[in-house]
Homo-oligomer: A and B are copies of this chain.
Amino acid sequence: MVIEVVRIGQRLVRDDRVTTHVALVSRAFGAERIFMTEINPEIKDTLGKINDTWGGNFEIEFIDSWKPIVKKKKEEGFKIVHLSMYGEKINDAQEEIRKEENLLIVVGAEKVPREIYELADFNVGVGSQPHSEISALAILLDRIQGGQQFEKEFPNAKRKIIPTKTGKNVQVKETRD
């Protein structure tokens, strides 16, 4: 399954840390790429450093507007999953979504354009109570991958955590460059 994420509707500065966390969740939970309209080089810098230290090739792509990418991905056969507290229950929708090959997940901020509800193949609610786009994305990615995203290796990591019941155990790969 190929998973990509697009972040829409965020407000400059106010949503920067939340957008960074959305990008971090995308990466840590097995997505390959996030598209975002906010041209914030700091977010790209943060994620670049994290790839460098913790491995993998997660990508951030800045886009001018969300609609062309959603339409392009649909044409390429991606199914569009829009996270919304108004959507269908994830407990009901997850079985269908799991069967898909390629997903573009749309993560909105406070205000999203109405049109996305029509363009989406699935409007999914992670509960019907307000919480956070960060948690909604995490739950969706966990449910559709059945937790297996956490078993995946991130190649070329300089540091790797060995899970342990107490304290910290980090493998550090020495390089000579």
Interface residues of A (CB under 8 A from B): 14, 17-18, 21, 24-25, 27-29, 50, 54, 85-92, 117-118, 122-123, 125-132, 134-135, 137-139, 142-143, 147, 149-151, 154, 160-170
A92 CA / B165 CA spacing, docked (Å): 11
9 closest A-B pairs by beta carbon, nearest first, are A135-B138, A128-B161, A21-B132, A28-B129, A28-B131, A86-B168, A134-B134, A127-B150, A24-B131
A167 CA / B27 CA spacing, docked (Å): 29
| Identical chains in the assembly | 2
Which residues does chain B contribute within 8 Å of A118, judged by CB atoms? 166
Which residues does chain B contribute within 8 Å of A90, judged by CB atoms? 147, 150
A-B contacts besides A24-B130, A87-B165, 18 pairs, CB < 8 Å: A18-B18, A21-B132, A21-B135, A24-B132, A25-B131, A28-B131, A28-B135, A86-B161, A89-B150, A123-B166, A125-B161, A127-B150, A128-B150, A128-B161, A128-B162, A129-B161, A134-B138, A135-B135
Which residues does chain B contribute within 8 Å of A14, judged by CB atoms? 17
Pick from B25, B139, B165, B169: contact of A132, CB under 8 Å: B25
